């Protein structure tokens, strides 16, 4: 038996998901695709024997489609996820769940009304072996009581269209989810601190930036986001506990030591660094669906992450700490 998947959006990550679902994930088949770029959708769909539909709704309502992957631009996610809930179809929705908390809450309400979880949000770092080691060290008490963390999110370069707030909503949103998941607590306040800008970043961009995430239990997480670091894609995470420290290792970063030098490889981009992680995420999603369950990062996680990102954008604009206000968590997500 295979889960028949429809994919909406066949750009960067959508194409990667199609390829993995069709050729590497056990128990899935891609049967339908849609993208506003019809030629791209046809090319990607033809490569895996999937039909190209004329609209996103046609994919969602196709009776052959068991489950949907949403990999369209973020501002379309809410509408497309709501259509999936209306059709009773499970969804793996790329981050963000929606670009505003108001839209996230519409999805929360619709899913709660449906009475069951249908949505998993694409916070794939939870499936990364390195992050799982960090999580286990916290949960097992190996480092004592987790007190604080230092995180780094660096990209080699970004296009000119990238803005200072996108550093929060597109990049740091991963650290926001990672923080909530690792510590098992909500983030209650954010502060964004501008530093001396890189002369190699676009003039309109504040880059790098430092973000402080304050946790409900009193812990603090620092995030450096630097999207024009030039040298590669570098994601780091170090959690400091009362009895020790656990640090994330970059897989495949083997060291070459000779001639008095130690040389390590840095991944070129997120595709290289997290390739195996996306595969693990997709496999667990499909295996869960075959077993009749939807697990993984929930609609609540998507909502909370967007709320924190929104507060970080407000802090970036005002220069002051900004509290994160969340509604009461519905029972479906406890
Ligand atoms: P992308 O390359 O721009 O792909 C998005 C695709 O959706 C494009 O082909 C775009 O076509 C198409 N599209 C536009 N309007 C559409 C519509 N109404 N219905 C369906 N498709 C539509 O972007 P991407 O980098 O793949 O990102 C897609 C989503 O994945 C974003 O939410 C992003 O944040 C997320 N993402 C997550 C990760 C992760 O690490 N989890 C990594 C990368 C991306 P046009 O180009 O013609 O507009």
In a domain, residue 263? The reply is yes
In a domain, residue 8? The reply is yes
What is residue 251's predicted lDDT score, i.e. its pLDDT? 83
Q: What is the mean pLDDT of residues 247-273?
A: 91
Tell me, using a 6 A CB cutoff, whether residue 315 lines ligand 1: no
Distance CA 270, CA 268 (A): 7
Q: Are residues 161 and 190 in the same domain?
A: yes
Tell me, using a 6 A CB cutoff, whether residue 74 lines ligand 1: yes
The pLDDT mean for the chain works out to 97
Q: Are residues 188 and 328 in the same domain?
A: yes
User: What pTM did the predictor assign?
Assistant: 0.97
Q: Band of the pLDDT at 253, cuts 50, 70, 90?
A: confident
Q: Is the pLDDT of residue 67 over 90?
A: yes
Ligand 1, atom 32, residue with closest C-alpha: 74
Q: Is the pLDDT of residue 254 over 90?
A: no
Residue 51 contacts by C-beta under 8 Å, 6 or more apart in sequence? 31, 32, 33, 45
Identify the residue whose tokens are 């507060």: 311
Tell me, using a 6 A CB cutoff, whether residue 14 lines ligand 1: yes
Tell me, using a 6 A CB cutoff, whether residue 170 lines ligand 1: yes
Query: Helix or strand or coil: residue 76?
Result: helix
Tell me, using a 6 A CB cutoff, whether residue 34 lines ligand 1: yes
Note the pLDDT tens digit of each residue in 198-217.
Answer: 999 999 999 999 999 999 99
In a domain, residue 283? The reply is no
Q: Are residues 192 and 72 in the same domain?
A: no
Distance CA 122, CA 277 (A): 11
Query: Could you tell me if 190 and 311 are in contact, meaning their C-beta atoms sit under 8 angstroms apart?
Result: yes
In a domain, residue 282? The reply is no
Ligand 1 closest atom vs CA 124 = 41
Residues in the chain: 334
Q: What is the mean pLDDT of residues 170-193?
A: 98
Q: If you measure from the C-alpha of residue 73 to the centroid of ligand 1, how many angstroms do you get, rounded to a whole number?
A: 4
Q: If you measure from the C-alpha of residue 286 to the centroid of ligand 1, how many angstroms do you get, rounded to a whole number?
A: 21
What is residue 139's predicted lDDT score, i.e. its pLDDT? 98
What is residue 158's predicted lDDT score, i.e. its pLDDT? 98
Closest CA to 179 of 141, 144, 146, 225: 146
Q: Are residues 50 and 179 in the same domain?
A: no
Q: Is the pLDDT of residue 280 over 80?
A: yes
Tell me, using a 6 A CB cutoff, whether residue 197 lines ligand 1: no
Q: What is the mean pLDDT of residues 30-43?
A: 98
What is residue 1's predicted lDDT score, i.e. its pLDDT? 87
In a domain, residue 279? The reply is no
Tell me, using a 6 A CB cutoff, whether residue 242 lines ligand 1: no
Distance CA 233, CA 134 (A): 20
Tell me, using a 6 A CB cutoff, whether residue 55 lines ligand 1: no
Ligand 1 closest atom vs CA 15 = 26
Tell me, using a 6 A CB cutoff, whether residue 177 lines ligand 1: no
Q: Are residues 104 and 206 in the same domain?
A: no
Which CATH number characterizes residue 34's domain?
3.40.50.720
**At which of 117, 151, 178 does a domain end?**
117
Which CATH number characterizes residue 229's domain?
3.30.360.10
Q: Are residues 130 and 162 in the same domain?
A: yes
Q: What is the mean pLDDT of residues 141-153?
A: 98
Q: What is the mean pLDDT of residues 92-116?
A: 98
What is the span of the domain harbouring residue 146?
126-274+304-333
Q: Band of the pLDDT at 223, cuts 50, 70, 90?
A: very high
**At which of 88, 117, 146 does a domain end?**
117
Domain count across the chain: 2
Please report which helix (H) or strand (E) contains residue 4, including its range. strand 3-8
Q: Band of the pLDDT at 255, cuts 50, 70, 90?
A: confident
Reading the block at residue 86, the tokens are 């209306």
């Amino acid at each position: 038996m295979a889960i028949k998947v429809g994919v909406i959006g066949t750009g960067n990550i959508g194409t990667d998901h199609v390829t993995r679902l069709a050729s590497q994930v056990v128990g899935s088949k891609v049967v339908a695709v849609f993208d506003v770029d019809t030629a791209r959708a046809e090319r990607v769909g033809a490569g895996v024997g999937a039909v190209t539909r004329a609209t996103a709704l046609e994919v969602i309502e196709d009776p052959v489609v068991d489950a949907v992957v949403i990999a369209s631009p973020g501002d379309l996610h809410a509408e497309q996820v709501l259509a999936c809930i209306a059709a009773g179809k499970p969804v793996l929705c790329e981050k963000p769940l929606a670009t505003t908390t108001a839209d996230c809450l519409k999805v929360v309400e619709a899913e709660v009304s449906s009475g069951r979880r249908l949505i998993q949000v694409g916070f794939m770092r939870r499936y990364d072996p390195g992050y799982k080691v960090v999580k286990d060290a916290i949960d097992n008490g190996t480092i004592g009581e987790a007190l604080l963390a230092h995180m780094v999110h660096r990209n080699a370069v970004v296009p000119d269209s990238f803005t200072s707030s996108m550093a929060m909503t597109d990049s740091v949103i991963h650290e926001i989810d990672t923080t909530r998941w690792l510590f098992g607590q909500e983030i209650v306040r954010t502060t964004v601190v501008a530093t001396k800008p890189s002369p190699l970043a676009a003039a309109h961009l504040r880059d790098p930036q430092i973000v402080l995430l304050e946790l409900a239990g009193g812990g603090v997480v620092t995030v450096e986001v630097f999207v024009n670091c030039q040298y590669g894609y570098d994601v780091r995470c170090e959690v400091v506990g009362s009895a020790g420290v656990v640090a994330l290792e970059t897989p495949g970063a083997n060291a070459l030591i000779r001639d008095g030098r130690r040389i390590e490889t840095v991944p070129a981009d997120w595709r290289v660094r997290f390739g195996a992680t996306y595969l693990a995420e997709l496999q667990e999603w499909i295996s869960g669906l075959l077993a009749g369950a939807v697990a993984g990062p929930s609609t609540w996680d998507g909502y909370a992450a967007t709320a924190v990102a929104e507060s970080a954008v407000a802090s970036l604009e005002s220069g002051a700490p900004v509290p994160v206000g969340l509604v009461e968590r519905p029972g479906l997500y406890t």
